[in-house]
Amino acid sequence: QKEVEQNSGPLSVPEGAIASLNCTYSDRGSQSFFWYRQYSGKSPELIMFIYSNGDKEDGRFTAQLNKASQYVSLLIRDSQPSDSATYLCAVNMGLSGGGADGLTFGKGTHLIIQP
Amino acid sequence: KAGVTQTPRYLIKTRGQQVTLSCSPISGHRSVSWYQQTPGQGLQFLFEYFSETQRNKGNFPGRFSGRQFSNSRSEMNVSTLELGDSALYLCASSSQGGTGNTIYFGEGSWLTVV
């Protein structure tokens, strides 16, 4: 069973601090990794993606990938109350090895930014 | 550029009925995938279509089916509805749908089965 694991939270972070969200995945052959943000009652919104080991920065967001440890994380700097949402980690695990294999999602981490 | 459009947004059906949901992808995107989201199971992949062909399918029963038209619009159908089919159904599109291509979600169709 190919899995993506996330701590469900809630993760409570003071405004202005760094929020750190973590995700592990089971399939060592996974090639692409995505972070989505989902507000209550809304659909997931892509924040960023990462393919290569290391860090990728986009504004206040940094994605970190460590394929050897099968670990991907998302850091949110200068957290704002508007960042309060559920953050979904998604991994392309190559279910069939061809075409669009579908993403395997974690169940998400509920992040609360305290003003 | 318009996003992914899903219709209807909300619907209520009775057990045993069937339902058809529609999705129009982002202009120029040829890959459409469908996901089901429930509180218990989270987001789960249903199937993906590219150029009118189903390329991959998740672990769902045959009651769940879909198709894609020549203009890349897609529909999914659920027959013989069960209470457990109550969920948010999300359509997503991408330009190619291959590994590494990002997918963008529509606003979803909220299905309630009573």
- A11-26 pLDDT tens trace: 999 999 999 999 999 9
Contacts of B62 (CB under 8 A, 6+ apart): none
The nearest alpha carbon in chain B to A109 belongs to B42
> B98 CB near a chain A CB, below 8 Å?
yes
Give the model confidence (pLDDT) of A44-80 as tens digits. Answer: 999 998 988 999 999 999 999 999 999 999 999 999 9
- What is d(CA A40, CA B37) in angstroms, rounded to the nearest whole number? 13
Predicted confidence at residue B101, as pLDDT, reads 67
Residue A98 confidence (pLDDT): 38
Task: Show the tokens assigned to B47.
Answer: 């199937």
> What is residue B14's predicted lDDT score, i.e. its pLDDT?
98
Tell me whether residues A103 and B50 touch, CB distance under 8 A.
no
More confident site: A111 or B28: A111
Q: What is the per-residue pLDDT for B1?
A: 61
Q: Which residue of A has its CA nearest to B110?
A: A41
CA nearest neighbour of B62 among B50, B73, B54: B54
Strand, helix or coil for residue A24: strand
Q: Do B102 and A100 touch (CB under 8 A)?
A: no
Would you call B99 and A32 a contact, using CB atoms and an 8 Å cutoff? yes
pLDDT at B98: 54
Burial classification of residue A7, based on how many CB atoms lie within 10 Å of its CB (0-12 exposed, 13-18 middle, 19 or more buried): middle
B102 to chain A, any CB pair closer than 8 A? The answer is yes
Our CA-based measurement puts residue B17 at a distance from the nearest CA of chain A, in whole angstroms, of 25
Picking from B97, B100, B105, the nearest residue to A44 by CB comes out as: B105
- Intervals of chain B under pLDDT 70: 1, 96-101
Does A96 or A41 have the greater pLDDT score?
Answer: A41
Partner-chain residue, chosen from B47, B100, B108, that has the shortest CB–CB distance to A43: B108
What is the separation of C-alpha A89 from the centre of its chain, rounded to a whole number of angstroms? 3
The model's pLDDT over A76-104, given as tens digits with 9 standing for 90+, comes to 999 999 999 999 999 986 544 334 467 88
Cα–Cα distance measured from residue A105 to residue A101, given in angstroms and rounded to the nearest whole number? 12
B50 and chain A in contact, CB less than 8 A: yes
| A39 has a pLDDT exceeding 80 | yes
Measured between CA atoms, the residue of chain B closest to residue A29 is: B99
**What is the token pair recorded at B24?**
């129009």
Cβ pair B99:A92 closer than 8 A: yes
